[in-house]
Structure 1
Amino acid sequence: MKSQSSTLLAEVRTFRQNHPEVRYVDLIALDIPGHFYGKRYPVEMLEKVAAGSPLKLPQNAVLLGAQGGLFKIGDYCFHDGDPDANRRLVPGTLKPVSWEAQPLGQMLITSDGTEAPIEFEPREVLAKVLERLQHKGIHPVVAFELEFYLLDKKLDDGLPQFARDPLSDDADDQPNLHIERLSRFSEVLDDMAQTAQAQGIDITVITAELGPGQFEINFGHCDDGLRAADWAALFCRSTRGVALKHGYRASFMAKPYLQFPGSGMHVHVSLYDGAGNNLLAAHQQQPLRHAVAGCLQLLPHCMPIFSPNHNAFRRLGGTVNAATRASWGFEDRDACVRIPESDPRNLRIEHRLASADANPYLVLAAILAGLEHGLEAGQEPIAPLNEDRNSGADFPLEMLDAVRAMQHQAVVRDKLGAEFIDVYCENKRQDHLAFQQEINAREYRWFL
């Protein structure tokens, strides 16, 4: 603990020396729906926290709904006195914020690694999965890919508008994959990439996607699963901020346009032993097949994680590369679990089902739990799509069905934690019911 405090203290002091204009630092963490919460600390107080002073925030901040409200979940929120819980600073994440009007810093905080971690905190859920794998001699290497839409900053009666092409000032309303779109929006895209890199995020490939104003950013492969998920979470925050600075909105909403492709979160995962050998490639890739089988078996029971809201379920089916059944295949983007072509050293799975607005900590935790379960069970998967285009297992396509499928599944409860599963399912159930408590114009038009 003393060693960590000295490291953190050195990090804060170095930051203050390099950024004397910064007076405040946002201490932030991701809640269950995938939004950041936290506090804005004077930088001199941050130095005291780094030296060992307590850092406490309300435990129930993790339980906020999609709109920020609290739901009654067991004894939490309304019958527990709303207690504080300890957090800690995440080393290496103190960075300047360049998209705000005033000089500012930000730093991740978490309850994992404290004396009493919050069992339903997303980062803690992933930390437990990674710790269990490490004890088994399994070391994941992870890379996220995130799709998002650029939209006009102004909404039209609450509805999104296409981003304006900076060269022509026309709406970028033509879906395509043309490289010229990267040039036309290069100013904002370059700023997004540079800002992400300043946050310590390893940005690699930028792609113009099929939807109008849609892009994809790839991150480097990382041998620290928590850091890989940190990158995905921080990228969403910085990208939204940079877009607003340039007169756009950046949205990771799963399906902003019904007629165009949705935005996904693709996760590449390799598994290595302590000597650096790829576990999936051993014994003529038999462990790969077992891992795929485990992923597909748990996938129908993890849908509230992969599709965390009503809109996310709209993304599934009806457009390109969005599966409606649990499936797998070699070099097949219609599959939920794709096996990219690679040499044995880099053999991996690409999990393609999650929406871009899913919680990256929970998505990775669910994927790793499926891989772990598959390696333990040693079962053969269903036929790949390359052999049978109709191969696949059904999964829920509506939130309440998905919650029921998740809550009482024994393996999921064991791998991700029973307390987390109960809290998460009730959070999603209440969020979904709250979403239904509004009559929209279409409903009046159809039934009035």
Structure 2
Amino acid sequence: MDGVRKSRMRLLLQAAEAFVGAAGVADVRRRVRDLVLNDLKPVYVGLSLLEHRGNGHRPGPAARRILDPEIDVQMETRYRTYTVMDEWPTARALRERRIVTVTSREELAESYGEQALDVWDTLGFASLAAIPLEGTQGAIGALIIAWGEVHELDPDERAVLKAVAQYTALATERALRLDDRTSVAHGLQKALLTSVPDVPGLDLAALYQPAAAFDLVGGDWYDAYRLPVEAPDGPPRLAVTVGDITGHNTRAAAIMGQARSMLRQADIDHLHRGPAHAVTALERACNVLSLPATGTLVHAHLTRADEGWELRWSNAGHPPPLLAVPGRAVEVLHPHDRLLLPDLPCGQRTEHRTALPPGATLLLYTDGLVERRSRALDSSIEATGRLLQQHVAAGAPLHDVLRDLHRRIAVDPNEDDVALLAVRVRHGAAP
């Protein structure tokens, strides 16, 4: 018995630290599962949370099972939602605010519904315990722990489960606040990332993938918009940008939104000037307004020419764009100026030009695609270029190209946001 009690005391000590830094409710579920696995040896650990919104005509508050992406339990998806009045052990635990146990199939069949029996038989349960989660403002959900053989809780084990549930409830409340904040930030950022325009002679595609871990949302953005022509019969013009304002929070996203709008305004107000002039104007405005828009960007203008399009760009310390032309090696557009630093005096940005022949594909991206601690930046950019070249040679649609680049190049999408923008010159695009 001493060994069992020592094991349970160790479990409680581990519980005090197990939920530190939980990145969301799914992460809370994984952590509580890992916490109890060695000592209690269950075959299943589930988490359900009460929902704040209404549930239509169904009586009682609604609860939703939190899915664990690391396991494949189709039963959770099949019976994803229920109410506290439904015939589930977790619903009863929430109604009566106590631990509910079931130690046989006969007991389950007598007190609960066919759905509970379906889960019991499919997952091979022999016993279970449903423990309510009490938050700072009342009940917030329930834990369910199940065993593959008969398991009756003794008083010490009940006390341990109550303590684990308390830690889980507090961690869940923190995770819910984090999820809400991250959801608002992602919504803000996505609202700023407009759809790419329809430009005759060009194909455009964009992809934005926020970081999945913690509240990593920040200043990555892409932009593309048509510029007014300089004369009634002038060639079409397009402005494109990919940038990254320093930071991974809502403040960075807000600064990004302001910088993006200011850069657009600079382009519109100085139609006869190039992208370098627009970036310089952005910097001056940030200095005057004390807007801390520190970061990097590539800003470019595309103008239709006799053979394809002409690209003019200015790079403020950003990863170099890639240019893939069928039958040629991928070109890395290296020239760049210093990054955006509002505290430094503004200087005139430099501008570069190159031709985009029919079939050419231009790729702009943020460092979330290529920058990793365990991999040299140059090698990541080279790998991106090789994969881009393969897709261009195969004539793959741009949306598919961007998704595949993100999937195969971004080693850990949890670490940083990723923004991608691609422009392809159609064959026969010259006037």
Length-normalised TM-score, structure 2? 0.21
Name the structure where strand makes up a greater proportion of residues: 2
- TM-score for both structures, normalised by structure 1: 0.21
